[in-house]
Amino acid sequence: MYAAVFIDAVMVKVRDGQVANRPIYAAIGVSLAGEKDILGLWAGSGGEGAKFWMGVLTDLRNRGVRDVFFLVCDGLKGLPEVVGNAWPQAIVQTCIVHLIRNTFRLASKRDWDPLRRDVKPIYTAVNAGAARAALDELADKWGQRYPAIIRLWHNAWAEFIPFLDYDIEIRQVLCSTNAIESLNARYRRAVKARGHFPTEQAALKCLYLVTRSLDPTGQGKARWAMRWLSRPGARCRYCCRSVSPGRSPNPACVFRRTGLSTVSAVRRGSPSPRGWGSRRGIGSG
């Protein structure tokens, strides 16, 4: 069981008859104790798609990841339904950085500065109600000129608001896919140095060796745990989720807000297996 799972894909060039981009899917799990586990690498075909993510998440569930509190992703279309099939009680949180980036792509560059000032109150709001009010103000001011931006936020609203129920310490971790973007940056650096790969297995082997070389001194792991547990009392405003594994959630709130299993169930259960995905991946966990 993991408090949060971050998922993303990185593109690599593979020579299979001709050189083409292939997605390599990666997932990182963060435990209640702040420990990060790289859960696997899976090679796909074509572009990144929700259909392949279904196989990846099902593989993780079959390997023993019974429950996930939050799954943080980049807002790929169809992914919330896929997550619901794998973990029905998981909360899907879209990456705020990707959402803001897509907002500016739909606007003229000369409007970026005023638009930035009007968008900021939405993702820094104290709660979902205040965020909705800020979105309404954005729609009143920019809806005529950029209706696509308003549609973008409305379509992503259900996956945008979950992190607003939590204290700032938890928000900073859950609001973006930065936890896995740093890993992808190392992957891209290694891929760029090699150009392209003859087979998918060669690409997976390269990324596997990059993963094995990460954080040899353990200092990065210590910094992440310190950040994750920066204030053990940080929790959901409804007391249904706490960073500290020793704090029991409010059962009524869990049922009303998320329906997730309680934190005490983590202590009763066995630890989740660690390893590499077997679905067109490396080895088995």
Give pLDDT tens digits for 94-111.
888 889 999 999 999 998
pLDDT at 154: 92
pLDDT at 255: 37
Q: Of all residues in the chain, what percent carry a pLDDT higher than 90? A: 14
- Pairwise CA distance, residues 21 & 11, whole Å: 6
- Has residue 285 got a pLDDT over 60? no
Is the pLDDT higher at 47 or at 175?
A: 175
- Pairwise CA distance, residues 162 & 258, whole Å: 10
pLDDT at 103: 92
- Which among 109, 126, 112, 119 has a CA at the least distance from the CA of 150? 119
Torsion of CA 226, 227, 230, 233, to 10 degrees: -110
Is the pLDDT higher at 198 or at 218?
A: 198
pLDDT confidence bin for 136, thresholds 50/70/90: very high
- Pairwise CA distance, residues 119 & 138, whole Å: 7
Amino acid at 38: I
- Pairwise CA distance, residues 247 & 270, whole Å: 19
Structure tokens at 226: 């310190």
Average pLDDT over residues 159-187: 84
pLDDT confidence bin for 147, thresholds 50/70/90: very high
The pLDDT tens digits of the residues spanning 22-39 come to: 888 888 888 877 778 888
pLDDT confidence bin for 218, thresholds 50/70/90: low
A 10 A CB-CB count for 21 gives 12
Can you count the helices (H) and strands (E) in the chain?
13, 5
Is the pLDDT higher at 120 or at 233?
A: 120
Phi, psi of 184 (to 5 degrees): -65, -30
Structure tokens at 7: 């998922």
**Residue 57 CB-density burial (10 A; 0-12 exposed, 13-18 middle, 19+ buried):** buried
Mean pLDDT for all residues in the chain = 76
* Long-range contact pairs involving 217-225 (C-beta distance under 8 Å, separation at least 24): 221/35, 221/36, 224/34, 224/36, 225/33, 225/34, 225/35
- Rounded to whole angstroms, what are the CA distances from 47 to 21, 60, 62? 8, 21, 25
pLDDT at 121: 92
Average pLDDT over residues 105-127: 90
pLDDT at 151: 92
Contacts of 195 (CB under 8 A, 6+ apart): 13
- Has residue 265 got a pLDDT over 50? no
The most confident of 172-176, 236-240, 245-249, by mean pLDDT: 172-176
Average pLDDT over residues 121-142: 91
Enter the pTM of the model. Answer: 0.73
pLDDT confidence bin for 221, thresholds 50/70/90: low
pLDDT at 217: 65
pLDDT at 236: 54
